Structure 1
Amino acid sequence: MRRFLLLSAVALASCGQPSTGDKPSAVETVEAQTGEAQLYTCPMHPHYISEDPNGSCPICGMDLVPAQASDGVLGDGSVAVSPEIIQTLGVRTEPARVTDFSRELRAFGTVEANESLQASETSRLEGWISDLRVRAEGDTVRRGQLLYRIYSAELIGAQKDLLNSLRIGNPRRIASVRQRLASLGMQTGTIDRVVETGELVERVPIYAESSGSIAEIMVADGEYVRPGTPVLRLQDYGEVWVIARIPEGELPLVREGLPLTLKFPSAPDANGEGLVDYIYPTIDPATRTAQLRISLPNTDGRLRPGAYADIDFNLSRDERLSVPAEAVLRDSKGAYVIAALGEGRFIARGVTIGETAGDRTAILSGLSAGESVVVSGQFMLGSEANLRGGFAQRSQGVAFGADTPLSELPIDATTLAQIDHFTDQALYFHEALTDGYAIDPYFVDPALALVDPLRSRFGATALNDVLTQAEAALLQAKSSDTPEDLRTALAGLMWALEPWLLEGAPSSYAARGVIMFEDTGSGRRWLQDARPARNPYGDGGSILVPWPDPMEGPMEGTAMPSRDIDTHAGHQ
């Protein structure tokens, strides 16, 4: 099919060329070059090919003309195109080469207080606060500084017991009473002073046990407190944390100890290097981001909690064989490229691809460094388009229609990524139902926005039906108020996507690790990206729906859904 389309485009670009009369042709016929029968085509409708030299075009009635060998399909499956036609089509090639595939990862973060450097002062007894020395948040406190005094009848009674024990000279009783005073909140230095002076301390002083700044004051001078009453909280800002947030898809690129560069708009002189100190074990279900922590010294106090931080992660260098992303095309058998063999010859070649970073896609197998691939060309009466765009235009105008199987549509990497927005919605709805949270209608809009662009390209094909019903299911999901409404929308979306999932590009989803299950009671299906099965429709059983092998045709027992069934009810 791809060779037929390229031949059609070549012939189309050739139409309108003036006759050379008796001048010898610059190219030989297909029969002379390959030993195969001469083919004939219509100058105005080059997709029509015939072996009848005296035939006429069934569309316009024009006499057929010979298809030139240099613009035809050769015996090895490659397509030969003359230099003039290559120039006319604007075909551009580029060799596969080893490139730096290190991904740039940037994130934002905020400066926050180091929780391990917090200290809280809590009352251990009943009494009245007096002589409160700290009055406002932000006051600096040094270790050993007087914070406040407290009057407590219980402390006075315990001190009297201590003095009596000292007069008696009973060491065991003295130790017991000292322990009692300490448990009531009297600090060791104050107890020692009572022992040395033999005098009661009516208003017991409380000293700071660590340095820092007052982060919060919870009492006032003269206030009555009980055991467990929070008095104040100290925070040391000599070291701070930067809490960064990254998308969950980037999480595999990050590890503890990874070096990074930080920039602070509010403190440019504090810019510097750091390391990932800790990766939090949870992901925010609302933003789909993970958090990580970076510890930084802040002895000069330039980094203030709440300040913004711009973070660049220094990922390790990773070199891979790659081609421009627009050179990679897809069909039901997987990814492929159009390889340029030289001397105007081109052939479709299957490849195994890796990740895409920037404008390049990694090639794991199928190509060697230095082999050229077609990156872009010009098709359909001089309309400037890249190679995959040209295939898409010809599919609508010449070779493809409503009866064309989804597996034969020219789906490139970009188009597949667009269609994947709909399958991602099915995964999103499943997760919302099984984890028990409501979907964000805003997250549905990107998929809805792709319906019209895809329909403009594939409106004459069976993919249009998939898009129409998927759009209806997504709109229903946006307006869903209950889990049951969302279950109905998920069933409708899966019903719409089944033809594409099972016929269009099943190998792509199998390679991604996407899994399809079916509820044994209702027959409704869903997608997951990991096992075990989690049924979003209730407590019923589930069965695995295997992906069909495109090399073996449709799987036995895997029926394509009828397009006239109510998608909102789910198929039974």
Structure 2
Amino acid sequence: MTEVNASRTRLAAGGALIALVAGASGYGISHFAGHPAGAPPAAREADSGGRTPLYWYDPMVPGQHFDKPGKSPFMDMQLIPRYADEGDRETPGVRIDPAASQSLGLRTVAVRRGALERNLTAAGTIDFNQRDVAVVQARAAGFVQHVYARAPGDVIGAGAPLADLLVPDWAGAQAEYLAVRQTGNAALALAARQRLALLGMPAGTIAAVERSGRPHDVVTVSAPAGGVIRTLGVRAGMAVAAGQTLAEVNGLGTVWLNAAVPEAAAGHLRPGQPAAATLAAYPGETFTGRVAAILPDVQADSRTLTVRIELANRGGRLRPGMFAAVSFGGSADPALLVPSEALIRTGKRTLVMLARADGRYEPAEVQAGREADGDTEILAGLSEGEKIVASGQFLIDSEASLSGVRARPVAASAALHEATGRIEKLTADAVTLSHDPVPAIGWPAMTMTFALPDHAIAHGLKAGDRVRFGFDQPPAGPTVRRMTKVAVQ
């Protein structure tokens, strides 16, 4: 019992000591901050500075403003005052001391206009060229007398024999033709010869009958073209009907490369566009071709389109089933560019931090486009020459969020809308363009007329040219401000 009381005494003494240290620490922190302990922060700053706050806010919910100090309804903390000299709603942005900017490692760059390559890479597999298929059929009913050593998958040349067929119907017709020839009646002989051709007899077999003067009722079926045997349906002793398929031979002079391209990137591909492929089987070697077709269906599981590229297959080195990496070449289109690292992607929108001349920083919403070589195309939200933060922008964005600074919307930017199209008609003060979709303003692909304030904008251009152009929408209507020719691959 004595030991229990002693333990309780020691615990009580330790608790008193902790409380004393905590109280001293609280006094020290409050004294270091220059405010009397216990007073609300809003009241302290209002009293010491002699300034009148614009409003009070909760740093965790900066968008909600209050007209008097007090405790936040959202968090267990006091509201913070916002003063006029700290920036108000009429002067957006946050101010950072230049010395602090250097310490934070802030780096600014100018929005520039440059060329953005339409580079795209995808994976693909080699397949047979389905347009290069020869079908071997029996021209007449008969019986298979002999087959040659062939099997599906064999590579054969043009004229390679496949099977010998005995055709009984041909024997009687050939004997009749030989008998008519002996009569010397040219008209009857010609009619009898035409009958042989109508029975499906090859010209070579008819010529052999004429040379030998005796019937040839056995014909050798051969491949009309070289390639690989895909199917072989002929066996010794079997009966065949007229028109029955005996074999299918797929040529290997050209092959197809079927590339799986994401549907989001397939919109920039066109038939005839150059493509280059590299294969693991031939390291260091590049096979070039052109886009033959873009298949209309989308694979539901992978959300990809199949782009078909036709490749020359010299020596039969490219074999169906081989894996290849495909790179699609394209033109370098003019675009408004910013470093990709400058973008702040929140999931719902994309922001950049504008650097103002007065030392303020303001978030601005942008519409991002293609990306290549560390640069991203800006479709809307920025103008050429504006300064943005390329490094350290996340720190400023956090401060702007805490300060309740709202991002400049895309519509508030003076940037031109960018699009690509083809000139249909060109006059001194207007241009009619068949343009692609303009996602920044929700326009679909269509043909429309734009005002042309200065004919020098269209210098060197003519109807039929494909162009990249920038336009705005003043009250007078859509107006082209810039237009450059795009090379067609």
- 2:163 corresponds in structure 1 to 148
Q: Deviations over 1:154-190 (max 9, x none)?
A: 1112112211221233333333333332333321111
Distance 2:77 2:271 in 1: 73
| % identity of equivalent residues | 29
Partner amino acid, structure 1, of 2:261:
I
Q: 1:128 to 1:511 in 2, by over 3 A?
A: same
Distance 1:193 1:134 in 2: 25
Tell me which moved more, 42-51 or 94-103: 42-51
**What is the CA distance between 1:128 and its match in structure 2?**
0.8
TM-score (norm 1): 0.54
Q: Secondary structure at the match of 2:208?
A: helix
In the TM superposition, 1:280-299 aligns within 5 A as 280-285=295-300, 287-299=302-314
Partner amino acid, structure 1, of 2:53:
L
Residue 376 of structure 1 contacts residue 386 of structure 1 at CA under 8 Å; is this kept in 2? no
Tell me which moved more, 172-181 or 254-263: 172-181
- 1:306 corresponds in structure 2 to 321
Distance 1:310 1:319 in 2: 27
- 1:39 corresponds in structure 2 to 53
Q: Deviations over 1:282-311 (max 9, x none)?
A: 444554432232222223121111111110
**Aligned pair partner of 2:371 in 350, 357, 363:** 357
Q: Secondary structure at the match of 1:346?
A: strand
RCO (CA 8 Å, sep 6+): is it higher in 1 or 2? 2
In the TM superposition, 1:551-570 aligns within 5 A as none
Residue 73 of structure 1 contacts residue 79 of structure 1 at CA under 8 Å; is this kept in 2? no
Distance 2:241 2:334 in 1: 66
**What is the CA distance between 1:261 and its match in structure 2?**
1.4
- 1:224 corresponds in structure 2 to 239
Distance 1:363 1:61 in 2: 41
Residue 213 of structure 1 contacts residue 236 of structure 1 at CA under 8 Å; is this kept in 2? yes
Q: Deviations over 1:450-498 (max 9, x none)?
A: xxxxxxxxxxxxxxxxxxxxxxxxxxxxxxxxxxxxxxxxxxxxxxxxx
Segments of structure 1 that go 5 or more residues without pairing to the other structure are 1-14, 21-28, 30-36, 379-384, 400-407, 414-507, 515-528, 531-572
Q: Secondary structure at the match of 1:175?
A: helix
Q: Deviations over 1:6-59 (max 9, x none)?
A: xxxxxxxxx998559xxxxxxxx9xxxxxxx843777997969889xxx86455
**What is the CA distance between 1:131 and its match in structure 2?**
2.1
Partner amino acid, structure 1, of 2:242:
P
**Aligned pair partner of 2:217 in 188, 202, 206:** 202
Partner amino acid, structure 2, of 1:216:
T
**Aligned pair partner of 1:176 in 191, 209, 218:** 191
Distance 1:325 1:140 in 2: 51
Q: Secondary structure at the match of 1:155?
A: helix
Distance 2:266 2:80 in 1: 61
In the TM superposition, 1:242-253 aligns within 5 A as 242-253=257-268
**What is the CA distance between 1:341 and its match in structure 2?**
1.3
Distance 2:78 2:318 in 1: 80
Residue 176 of structure 2 contacts residue 192 of structure 2 at CA under 8 Å; is this kept in 1? yes
**By percentage of residues, which structure has more helix?**
1
Residue 363 of structure 2 contacts residue 408 of structure 2 at CA under 8 Å; is this kept in 1? no
**What is the CA distance between 1:236 and its match in structure 2?**
2.5
Q: Secondary structure at the match of 1:277?
A: strand
**Aligned pair partner of 1:137 in 131, 134, 152:** 152
Residue 113 of structure 1 pairs with residue 128 of structure 2: yes
Q: For this pair of structures, how many residues does the alignment match?
A: 371
In the TM superposition, 1:536-551 aligns within 5 A as none
**By percentage of residues, which structure has more strand?**
2
- 2:137 corresponds in structure 1 to 122
**What is the CA distance between 1:102 and its match in structure 2?**
2.3
- 1:104 corresponds in structure 2 to 119
Q: 1:326 to 1:258 in 2, by over 3 A?
A: same
Residue 161 of structure 2 contacts residue 222 of structure 2 at CA under 8 Å; is this kept in 1? yes
- 1:193 corresponds in structure 2 to 208
**What is the CA distance between 1:386 and its match in structure 2?**
4.8
Cα RMSD for the two superposed structures? 4.6
Distance 1:63 1:292 in 2: 60
